[in-house]
Chain A
Amino acid sequence: MAMNGKGTLLDASTLPVKEFDGIIVGGGGSGMMASLQLAKSGMNTAVVSKVFPTRSHTVSAQGGITCSIQSADPDDDWRWHMFDTVKGSDFIGDQDSIEYMCKEGPEAIFELENMGLPFSRTEEGKIYQRAFGGQSKDYGKGGQAERTCAAADRTGHALLHTLFQANVKAGTNFLSEWFAVDLVKNQSEQVVGVIAFEIESGEPYFLKSKATVLATGGAGRIYQTTSNALINTGDGTGMALRAGFPVQDMEMWQFHPTGIHGHGTLVTEGCRGEGGYLVNKDGERFMERYAPNYKDLASRDVVARSMFTEILEGRGCGPDADHVYLKLDHLGPEIVHKRLPGVTELSKRFAHVDPAEHPIPVVPTCHYAMGGIPTNVHGQVISQNSDGTDKIIDGLYAAGEAACVSVHGGNRLGGNSLLDLIVFGRSAGLHIEESFKSGIKMDNPSPDDVDYALRNLNRVNISQSGENFVEVKKDLQKTMQMNFGVFRTEELMENGIKEVSNLRDKSQNIHLADKSSQFNTARVEALELLNLIEVAEATAISANERKESRGAHSREDYPDRDDENWLKHSIYFSDTKQVSKREVNFRPKQVQAFQPIVRTY
């Protein structure tokens, strides 16, 4: 029953069903960590990925994975890592989650190494660790730490391929190049699978499952300039919002300081970890003024804002004074080419400079969503009861960048995203495995439940006229870039919210001209737009609602952090477009909670 271009409506009565114990949507780091766990347990699982797994965006991570494995420093302590992460989050990271990640991290790193991940090495034959931003010893009192485990500057590639290989070994079932469209929810608010189609044939299916993990990664493509892959369209986030589940802290978008000017592609923070630094047009190492202690290794939100301030005050480089320089040439070709071979390649390719000889022109670029689908440490998705208390959604999990567990709060530290992926991908897998052992009962969805989840696919498939989705996407990216960038004001954001709302209306009326079934990428792009719109609107409304400056969310009209009112998560529902608040967790199990302090670097 292919989508044959004649505008036939799909419905539950004829839709083929494939049944699994668990499905994982997304084949990046967190998805493949979860699938590995499930494959080993012998469960009937499938990874549903719109690209072949090694094409996932985890592959682009460069600098490393931060974890207190005591290689560079035998006295390093996961509690120091925890402190840095809490401080980095500007105190709205959940401390139970951060504690879990920092404490469980080393075991996960060694598991990956044992799987074959080709980490760089120290003289003693241990895993090499480098300095990254916002890292300290002794709870911020002992100076810069070196805590980021690295495979040269290709850590994400090494990690993703190692995980793919481990999954090949474990016999994981991949539904590779399948696109998941929407969640199927039964009348008891349980998630019982997804509607998806095989991209090659266009054949749609109901993938029925007792546990569904959304591991769909980021959505940086809501912005015009981003480090993110073209596939980062927030698909799981859009699916969750459309199914009536909330997202958390969506106003918190990280702009990475060192995007290559004019392209958006990143060069790693590891450049500065290896001794590189930023200069303005006068050749001044300006970070010394903004962060006298950590300088270029202050946390990313601080560095990005400082760079924009330099540019706005007329000290930018180049004919348009619209970027600054990242200097590495003083390190010499030996260090630059050996430790940063990928950066060398990217700089030559996209900036036409060899970083061992010339500085790289850089400008902050949208990089990472700290917000996402709220979960607990087991990856279980959380919604909110009307009285504001948490409600666990049966059958639905989220992990990685799509999720908000929340270990990053208002600002993520470099190297913590890969750690987040593997720790919480694994914990979701573990929880599903345990739940299965104790027995999961789910109600069958009604035909109406399935039909409801088919509505978007049907709408796109039968569209006879309407908006050009490529144009709507471009307008959306421009709107987000203009109105929800590094510095925000109410005026800009209210204007942006109106524009996004108009674009949402347009997105409800998009036209897919090519209805062919065979590897129709236009159909995929049309459906991706619906997800981008959901993420963008959640970002826009949440950003305007948070009336303070914290972490990556910096408002000129509310320049200060407001702990009295906003030491909270924001929670946003798409159907009501309302933002509510959720308590931040200050109850770690083994240490005293870290209380908010003034955040300086």
Chain B
Amino acid sequence: MNAISASEIKTLRLSIYRYDPLKEEKPYMQDFDIDIPAEKDLMVLDVLMLAKEQDPSISFRRSCREGVCGSDGLNINGKNGLGCITPLSDAVKSNKLSIRPLPGLPVIKDLIVDMKQFVDQYKKVKPYLITDKKVDTRKAIPQTIEEREKLDGLYECIMCGCCSTACPSFWWNPDKFLGPAALLQAYRFIADSRDTATEERLEQLEDAFSVFRCHGIMNCVSVCPKGLNPTKAIGEIKKMLVKRAL
């Protein structure tokens, strides 16, 4: 399964995408030699931090370093993933590791992309519970175990952006196609037995672009660091939209 076992790596050739739009006309790749302790299988984020010790001017986002905050979505040797939970043994090929920003979004600096478009699409789907029933605020809205199970695989999204920025449909129409992350979120609320706005949500998604630009390429599924399946959620929305149109 692993391209290379951890013990074979000694000095890693790391290549990092660098770009400061205020200072440089064009982005370039900067190379580093990083010494890796033989017995340790470091994560990609660890080697980025080691590179930053050599050159403190490298910029990248990071926070939890355990795969739950979604800060460090990166393009790692050509594949989107989280730096903090991608081990070198999975990522490194021929002792080379090349790290670029998530594709398709404007670069602010180095590995930092402007997430505005991504967040705007997220906000469009009204990512919050809507309920027209009178809620007794002194208790929980009842939900059965089976109803709650329908949210598994949906609510765990960490908004890292790996999926949407791996999606050709999102690259072409980032303003009109909502992208896998926002659509997963849309379905998370459609699927919630406590939410009563399904009709309103579907109506909003019914144009040619919002959902239907998804062509089932499934890049989103192959890169999701949480193992979620946005394509499936999008399929469910499509089914509901088709059913509704009949």
Contact = CB atoms under 8 A, between A and B. Distances in A.
A59 B68 contact: yes
B71 A51 contact: yes
B63 A521 contact: no
A161 B185 CA distance: 11
A121 B144 CA distance: 6
A110 B71 CA distance: 30
A57 interface: yes
A123 B115 contact: no
Nearest to A2: B22
Interface stretch (A374-382, A400-408, A483-491, A511-519): A511-519
Most chain A Cβ neighbours within 10 Å, of B135, B141, B155: B155
A121 B53 contact: no
Contacts, number: 148
Interface size class of A (residues with CB under 8 A): 35 or more
Interface stretch (A164-172, A531-539, A572-580, A585-593): A164-172
B7 interface: no
B194 interface: yes
Interface in A547-567: none
Interface of B is mostly: loop
A71 B143 CA distance: 13
A120 interface: yes
Interface in B51-76: 53, 56-57, 59-71
Contacts of B241: none
Given A126-B142, A513-B56, A518-B22, A55 B156 contact: no
B168 to A, nearest CB: 25
A60 interface: yes
B192 A60 contact: no
A122 B142 CA distance: 10
Given A114-B135, A521-B59, A229 B128 contact: no
Interface stretch (A86-94, A180-188, A343-351): A343-351
Output the residue of B22, B192, B195 with the most chain A CB within 10 A.
Answer: B22
B138 A54 contact: no
A52 to B, nearest CB: 7
A529 to B, nearest CB: 13
Nearest to B45: A230
Given A55-B63, A59-B64, A116 B194 contact: yes
Interface string A109-140: 11101111011111111110000000000000
B156 to A, nearest CB: 6
Contacts of B27: none
10 contacts: A52-B119, A69-B140, A109-B140, A114-B141, A118-B155, A121-B148, A157-B156, A168-B128, A230-B64, A522-B57
| Top-8 shortest CB links A-B | A116-B129, A125-B142, A519-B109, A165-B128, A514-B57, A55-B69, A522-B56, A113-B140
